[in-house]
Amino acid sequence: MILNIPFSDIVFYFVAAFMVLLSIAAVSSKNVLRSAIFLIATFLGTAILYLLLKAEFMAMAQIMLYVGGVVVFIIFAILLTSHLGENKLSTPISQKFLAVFLALTLLGVMAKFLFNTKELSESVAQKSPEASSLIAYGERLLSYAPNGFVLPFEIISILLFMTLVVAITIAKKDNKEEK
Amino acid sequence: MTLLHCLILAFILFTIGIFGVLTNRHLIGMLISIEIMLNAANINFVAFAYFKAQDPTAGTLFSIFSIAITACEMAVALAILIAMYRKHHSLDVNTQEINHE
C-alpha cells in the first residue's frame, strides 16, 4: 500500500506536519526572539511547499523577502526594544481556553464548507511546465498587454518607496519631546 | 497531495495565527502571528494557481504582490512599535494607556 504513494506526497505531509508544529511553537513561545527563529523555520517550510507546487520563483521570493527581509526587521525590532522582564508576559488560562475555542470554531466552520465541495480533491495539476518558468513570469510581469502586470508592478514600487519614507519618519527621534 | 490537503494546511496555519493573536500579550508576538496568517493566505494563492487556474502565471504573480504588501506593512508596523516603545518603555498590550493631551 505504502509504495503506491508518490515521493512528493510523502515530502508534502512531512513538510506540512513540520510547519504546523513549528508555527504552534512560534505563537506559544514565551521568548519573542525564539519565536522569531521558529518563524524562520516556518517560512523555510513554506518555501519547500512552493517548490513542490512547481513555483520556484515564489520559493526564492519567499526566502529572500520573508527570511531575508521581514524576519530581519522583526529581529531588529526585538533587539531595539528588548527589556528585562518583558519576556515573562503571561495570559490567564481562561483567555487561552477562549482563544482555542474561537480558533477551533473557525476551523470547523471553514472545514465544513471545504468538505462539501467535491471537486477540490482531484490531484491532477492544471499547470503546464512552461507556465511556471522564470521567463514566463518576467514577460508577464513587464508586459503592456491587457493581461500584463506592469501597472501593479509600478504601483508596488511607489508603495514600497512611500512606506520606507513613512517608516523612517515615524521611527525617528523627536527632538522636541526628548529634550 | 491534492488541493484539499493544501487548503486544509493553510486553514490550520490560519487558525494557529488567530490563536496567537488572541493569546499573545507582547506586540511583536502578535505581529509574528499575523505573519503566519498572511503566509497561510499565500499558500492558498499558490495552491489554487497550481491546481485550478486557467492562467497559472497570473495566479502565482498575484502572491508576489501580496508578499510585497506584507513587507510594506511590516516596515510600518515595526516603526510604529519602536515609536511606541520610546514613549511607554513597554510593549505589553494590556498596560498601554492612551494619553489624551
The per-residue pLDDT for range A94-150, each reduced to its tens digit, is 888 999 999 999 999 988 888 887 777 666 666 666 666 788 888 888 888 888 889
Closest in A32, A70, A170 to B70, CB measured? A70
Q: Indicate whether B101 pLDDT > 50.
A: no
ipTM over 0.85: yes
CB contact under 8 A, A149 and B61: yes
pLDDT, residue B99, reads 55
pLDDT, residue B89, reads 77
In this structure, the number of other CB atoms found within 10 A of the CB of residue B29 comes to: 27
pLDDT, residue B32, reads 92
What is chain B's alpha carbon radius of gyration, rounded to the nearest angstrom? 17
Name the more confident of B72 and A83.
B72
Split at pLDDT 50, 70, 90, the class of A24 is: very high
Please write down the long-range contacts of B79-88, taking CB distance under 8 Å and 24 or more positions apart: B79/A166, B79/A167, B79/A168, B79/A170, B79/A171, B80/A170, B81/A77, B81/A81, B81/B27, B81/B28, B81/B31, B82/A77, B82/A80, B82/A81, B82/A170, B82/A171, B83/A170, B83/A171, B84/B27, B85/A80, B85/A81, B86/A173
pLDDT, residue B9, reads 93
Q: Indicate whether A87 pLDDT > 80.
A: no
State whether residue B9 sits within 8 Å of chain A by CB. Answer: yes
Euclidean distance between CA atoms A74 and A160, whole angstroms: 18
Closest in B12, B31, B56 to A107, CB measured? B12
Q: Indicate whether A84 pLDDT > 70.
A: no
Q: From B2, which residue of chain A is nearest by alpha-carbon distance?
A: A123
What is chain A's alpha carbon radius of gyration, rounded to the nearest angstrom? 22
Task: Give A1-83's CATH code, choosing from 1.20.120.1200, 3.30.160.110, 3.40.50.1370, 3.50.50.60.
Answer: 1.20.120.1200
Give the start-to-end residue ranges of the domains of chain A.
Answer: 1-83, 130-179
pLDDT > 90 fraction of chain A, expressed in percent and rounded:
35
Domains defined for chain B, CATH in brackets: 3-95 (1.10.287.3510)
